[in-house]
């Protein structure tokens, strides 16, 4: 168990079970590779035009591009929430599924749901770019009501206690960027 306090204090855990803090990209890559049916859920905070914090881009590269590269590297289907689909299409990628954050979570908690590719429900869901208070609440739903069949993971630059696996609170964008690049790199190597 980690004693990490989330960056946004509205997300402080009131409970016992908190996310495992993962700082090593290869550990994340292993978890993703081990999953039979992972799913990447993208939120609007990865879009340049709606991003609320400091990391509109990482060194000039829009954050959404990291997400799409990662999905491609590990052949992970994408659920585009909110208005993410539009930007994805502009970048030449069609999402596998379009739901809002609360809707996809509503499906994921049902073990009998057939998943976005109609191959059965997912066993790993990776959240990226949902407003942090909403994302933490979505993770809470899954922690409480999907723990029998689903693990959760986040790629945002902050710690999310309700996830199963979370990144740390990166002080600097460069550290976050390095993690994402390393993760994509490892996943790509795994494909080869």
Partner 1 sequence: MAEVKKITRKEEEVRELIKAEIPWEPVGPTPMPEIPDLRSWDMRLLKTYKPWYAPFCDLCCLCTYGKCDLTQGRRGACGLNIEAQQARIILLACLMGCSAHAAHAGHILEFLIEKHGPDKKIDMGTFIELEAPNIRTVTGLKPETLGDLKTVIEYVYKEITHLLDSTHFGQEGSYLDYESKALHASMLDHVGMEVADIAQIVGFDFPTSVADTPMIDMGWDSIDKSKPVILLVGHNPATSCTVIDYLRENDLYDKVEVGGICCTAIETTRYSDRAKIVGPLSRQLFFIRTGIADVIMTDEQCIRTDMPIEADKVNSRVIACLDKAMYGLEDATEWDTEEIVKQMVEDKKHFAILDPQKAAEVAAKVAMKIAPQRKKEWISEEEAKELAAKCTRCDMCERVCPNLLGLGKAMKDISEGNYEEPQKLFNKCIGCGKCDQECPKNIPILRVLQVVASKETWKIRAGRGAIMDTEIRNVGAPITLGTIPGVLAFVGCSNYPDIDDVADMVYEFAKRKYIVVLTGCAAMVAGMKTFEDGKTVYELFPPDFDAGGVVNVGSCVSNAHITGAAIKIANIFAALPLRANYEVMADYVINRVGACGIAWGAMSQKAASIGTGCNRLGVPVILGPHSAKYRRLYLSRKEEDDWRIMDARKREIVDTGEPSPEHIAYVAETKEKAMIMIPKLCIRKNDTPQGRGIKLNHYISLYKRYMGGGLPEDLHLFVRRDADIPLVYKKEVRVYLKEIGWQPKEPVGLPTYIGTYPSKIPLDAVIH
List interacting residues with partner 1 (CB under 8 A).
Answer: 7-10, 13-17, 43-44, 50, 52-54, 81-83, 85-87, 89-90, 98, 100-103, 105-107, 110, 113, 130-134, 137-138, 140-141, 143-145, 147
Q: How far is the CB of 153 from partner 1 (least distance, A)?
A: 18
Nearest 5 degrees, angle CA 120-CA 126-CA 129? 135
Q: Nearer Cβ to partner 1, position 14 or 192? A: 14
Q: Which is nearer to partner 1, 87 or 152 (CB)?
A: 87
Please count the other Cβ atoms lying within 10 Å of the Cβ belonging to residue 64. Answer: 25
| φ/ψ of residue 137, rounded to 5 | -70, -40
Shortest spacing between CB 111 and partner 1, in angstroms? 13
> Whose Cβ is closer to partner 1: residue 113's or residue 178's?
113
CB of 185 to partner 1, least distance (A): 30
Nearest distance from residue 160's CB to partner 1, in Å?
A: 13
Dist. CA 192–CA 187, nearest whole Å: 9
For the CB of residue 75, give the shortest distance to partner 1 in the complex, in Å.
22
């Amino acid at each position: 168990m980690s004693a990490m306090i989330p960056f946004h204090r509205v997300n402080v855990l009131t409970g016992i079970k908190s996310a495992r803090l993962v700082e090593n990209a290869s550990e994340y890559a292993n978890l993703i590779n081990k999953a039979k049916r992972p799913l990447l859920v993208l939120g609007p905070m990865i879009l340049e035009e709606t991003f609320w914090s400091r990391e509109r881009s990482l060194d000039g590269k829009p954050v959404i591009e990291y997400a799409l590269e990662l999905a491609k590297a590990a052949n992970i289907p994408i659920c585009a929430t909110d208005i993410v689909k539009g930007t994805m299409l502009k970048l030449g990628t069609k999402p596998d599924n379009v739901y809002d954050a609360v809707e996809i979570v509503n499906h994921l908690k049902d073990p009998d749901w057939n998943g976005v590719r109609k191959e059965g429900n997912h066993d790993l869901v990776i959240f990226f770019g949902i407003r942090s208070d909403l994302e933490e609440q979505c993770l809470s739903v899954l922690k409480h009501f999907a723990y029998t069949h689903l693990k959760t993971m986040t790629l945002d630059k902050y710690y999310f206690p309700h996830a199963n696996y979370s990144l740390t609170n990166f002080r600097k964008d460069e550290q976050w960027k390095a993690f994402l690049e390393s993760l994509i790199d490892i996943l790509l190597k795994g494909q080869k």
